[in-house]
A and B are shown apart, each in its own frame.
Chain A
Amino acid sequence: MNPVLQLSAQDWLSLFNHFASLSLLAVGGAITTAPDMHRYLVDETYWLSDAQFTSSIALAQAAPGPNILFVALMGWNVGLNAGAGLGGGWTSVALASLGVAVTMLGIMLPSSILTYTATRWAHKHREKIGIRAFKSGMAPIVIALLLATAWLLTVSHNLPARDWPLYVLTALTTLVVWRTKLHMLWLIGLGALLGALGWV
């Protein structure tokens, strides 16, 4: 059991500020700023344990929905720690919800306002050559980024002798989704099953 955290209003504000300052740096996904979140939440303030930090990321990846929700889980856990865990009853749940609200608003507000404003402006001027050049120019590059992301995820398992079944699973998924209309949930379920059984 973690000792109960005492968080002042000042602490909640600085939690908000930290996530808000990371928001605009999160080009290529909020996960790229995870190392800084770790430094702040685990190493500096001790608001989260290392295990809570890691399992927040893992759980959000396993769950449906945008991966950004790992931030909500971090906020949830900070709140729980401040309220004596789930044993703290409704006080804990209230604090945990506050944690979710503070971290999610922090990470989402600045980037969403910027994206919304910029894309409305760009849409209004979409016939201008500069805007069209930006979209056309970036198209092949973001396609390459998708392929590079898939590649990096694959080679992060870096022992071919042990990890080759994972490589095969990735390759098969690519082929099936590219060429057929099979529902993706079947593939995700298959991956989870094979993994849980220890076959990949």
Chain B
Amino acid sequence: MPETAPLNQPRSKTDLFVSFTLLALQGFGGVLAVVQRELVEKKRWMTREQFVEDWAVAQIMPGPNVVNLSLMIGGRYFGLPGALAGLAGMLAAPLVVVLLLAVAFGGVSDAFWAQGALRGMGAVSAGLIAAVGLKLIGALRSNPMGMPVCIALATASFVGVGLLRWPLAYVLLGTGLVACGWAYLQLARQATRDGEAP
């Protein structure tokens, strides 16, 4: 995906708040898929490559990952007030909605049709997450570790978490350390090469 047009950025903290509110209200069964589509493909606040990097940090830090992402993005443009605007946008309106739903439908969630609807929506949100994963693979092309190494690390992580069901922390420590170490070597080598070039 060649990046020709320059990136946009949020105009103000209000823009940030409103944008994240709208994102969050569209995010049934998880907000990630909407965030990726809106921020990268529509608003173009960041490239796919930047999104992967930010997502990596947001997911590894403790706390809800999309909320972490809103803190990071808000903080980057407007410091602490921006981070709070992003956070509030992500949480405030959905909180009101979910409480209203609890008051209105608290007793309904055991009904057969409601259970069925949840099952159906769950299956769709699994598909949404998978699609984001597939879309982001393309961003690995510019990764300093090179595509084959990236695919090998991704496969190993998938097998560990998805098939063998090892605890996430062990897998992150295992493949994560190898990956960061290898990336460090590649980047350091690149830096020396660039240093030598006239």
Q: How far is the CB of B133 from chain A (nearest CB, A)?
A: 4
- Check if A144 sits within 8 Å of B154, measured CB to CB: yes
A interface residue count range (under 10 / 10 to 19 / 20 to 34 / 35 or more): 35 or more
Q: Tell me which residues from 13 to 49 in chain B have a Cβ below 8 Å from any Cβ of chain A.
A: 24-34, 37, 41
| A residues 141-200 in Cβ contact with B at 8 Å | 141-154, 157, 166-167, 169-178, 181, 184-185, 187-188, 190-198, 200
B90 at the interface (CB under 8 A from A): yes
Q: Among the listed A56, A86, A195, which residue makes an inter-chain contact with B103, where contact means beta carbons less than 8 Å apart?
A: A86
Task: Say yes or no: A58-B118 contact (C-beta < 8 A), given A133-B187, A137-B183, A146-B136.
Answer: yes
The CA of A171 and the CA of B134, in the complex, are separated in Å by 12
With contact pairs A64-B94, A65-B93, A185-B28 given, residues A114 and B61 touching in the complex (Cβ less than 8 Å): yes
Over the window 97-141 of chain A, the binary record of Cβ atoms lying under 8 Å from chain B Cβ atoms (1 yes, 0 no) is 000100010001011101110111011000001101111111111
> Total contacts A to B, CB within 8 angstroms?
358
Across the interface, do B116 and A196 meet the contact criterion of CB distance under 8 Å? Answer: yes
In the bound complex, what is the Cα–Cα distance between A191 and B116 (angstroms)? 9
- Whether B117 lies near A173 (C-beta < 8 A) is no
Known: A139-B56, A170-B130. A129 touches B124 (CB 8 A): no
* B interface residue numbers (CB < 8 A to A): 24-34, 37, 41, 52-53, 55-68, 71-72, 75-76, 80, 83, 87, 90-91, 93-95, 97-99, 101-103, 105-106, 109-110, 112-114, 116-137, 139-140, 143-145, 150-151, 153-158, 161-162, 165, 168-169, 172, 175-176, 179-184, 187-188, 191
A interface residues (Cβ-Cβ under 8 A, vs B): 23-30, 32, 51, 55-56, 58-69, 72-73, 76-77, 86, 100, 104, 108, 110-112, 114-116, 118-120, 122-123, 129-130, 132-154, 157, 166-167, 169-178, 181, 184-185, 187-188, 190-198, 200
Extra 6 A-B pairs, beta carbons < 8 Å, given A64-B97, A129-B187, A149-B129:
A66-B66, A115-B63, A119-B68, A132-B187, A141-B179, A195-B123
